[in-house]
Structure 1
Amino acid sequence: MEATNLHHRYGRRTVLRGLDIRLHSGALAGVVGENGAGKSTLLKILSGELRPDRGTVHHNGGFGYCPQTVVLNGSLTVRHHLELFRTAYGLPDFHRAREIMECLHFADCLDERAAVLSGGTQQKLNLTLALMHDPQTLLLDEPYQGFDWDTYLCFWDLANQLRDAGRSVLVVSHLAHDTDRLDELWYLDEGVLRAQREASE
């Protein structure tokens, strides 16, 4: 994935100022920044949910997008959500979805309605829906909010598995304590994306 010269503003407030970002295959990368810095706006543009005022985004292969706010129908079960997304993605079965659910420890929730799931379990489903078609690039906005410690560790195990399989993972967060887990790191400040040290340094 590569984005070039992204500009965006809301009214008089400029959020992105000529931002460039390139995500390589097999990379686990992150963007950190203060609340309101424009991180979610950046992901919405990278996913195509929002059109930038100026600039281009190019994806080489399919992508998955996990927004910060879960997009679920409370009256539908987990199984219903998987079936809807399976149809949308043109998948033959739930095989990959079941693998992710096992990894995140909520495979026993298939027939529970989304409305009765805890916030953390809703986020697990949100992540599964973004991943179940095995995308080349995964865009994650605060993906582990609401996770308990064990699930948080499972998330990073999953992210490492994706990287090792040659996938590209971009995690956006206002927290900087996860940066040692990342191969690449950028800091978004005043609409500009600044490259930071590599995690191995």
Structure 2
Amino acid sequence: MDVTDVHHSYRQHAVLRGVDLQLRPGTLAGIVGENGAGKTTLLKILSGELRPDRGSVSHNSRFGYCPQSVVLDDSFTVRQHLDFFKYAFGLPDLGRAEEVMEALAFTAYLDQRAGLLSGGSRQKLNLTLALMHDPDVLLLDEPYQGFDWETYLCFWELATRLRDTGRSVLVVSHLAYDIDRLELLWRLDGGRLHPQERCTEAAA
């Protein structure tokens, strides 16, 4: 993914003022920034949900996007969500979804309605839906909110495995948790990305 000179404003308020970013295959990267810094706006632009006022985003990869706000139908079961997305993605089966759910210890909830899930379980479903078509680039906006400690560790194990198989994972958060797991880290401040000190090694 190559991002060049991306700008975006809401009326007179400039949120992004020239963002440049390169994300190569097999990279586990992060963006941190205060609330309101423009992190979600940037992710929406990277995913194609929002058009920048100026600049370009180029890629030749399948995207998975896990937004911060979980978009689920509370009357649907987990299984019904998976079936709906299976047809939307044109997938032959739910094999990949089942792998992700097992990694997140979520398989027991297949027949549970989304409206009855806890916040952490809803986030597990959100992440499964973003990953079930096996994307090459995964964009994650506050992906571990609501996770307990065990699930939080499972998330990082999953992210590391994705990196090790050549996927690119971009984790966006307002706090720099576990930066030792990242190869690249930027801080979004003043509408621009500022490279932070690179971590010397990623955690296993």
Check whether TM > 0.5.
yes
Letter in 2 for 1:44: K
Give the aligned partner of residue 39 of structure 2.
Answer: 39
CA distance in 2, matches of 1:179, 1:50: 28
Give the aligned partner of residue 12 of structure 2.
Answer: 12
Q: Runs of 5+ in structure 1 lacking a partner?
A: none
Q: Runs of 5+ in structure 2 lacking a partner?
A: none
Give the aligned partner of residue 104 of structure 1.
Answer: 104
- Is residue 2:149 matched to residue 1:149? yes
Q: List aligned pairs for 1:1-201, cutoff 5 A.
A: 1-200=1-200
Query: Please, what TM-score do these two structures have when normalized by structure 1?
Result: 0.98
What's the Cα RMSD here? 0.8
CA distance in 1, matches of 2:5, 2:81: 36
Q: CA deviation at 1:156?
A: 0.1
Q: CA deviation at 1:178?
A: 2.0
Query: Please, what TM-score do these two structures have when normalized by structure 2?
Result: 0.97
CA distance in 1, matches of 2:53, 2:183: 30
Letter in 1 for 2:27: A
Letter in 1 for 2:16: L
Greater than 3 Å deviation, 4+ residue runs: none
Q: CA deviation at 1:177?
A: 2.7
Q: CA deviation at 1:26?
A: 0.2
Letter in 1 for 2:25: S
User: Between Structure 1 and Structure 2, how many residues are aligned?
Assistant: 201
CA distance in 2, matches of 1:164, 1:27: 8
Q: Deviations over 1:112-151 (max 9, x none)?
A: 1000000000000000000000000000000000000000
CA distance in 2, matches of 1:164, 1:179: 17
Q: Deviations over 1:164-192 (max 9, x none)?
A: 00000000000113211101000100101
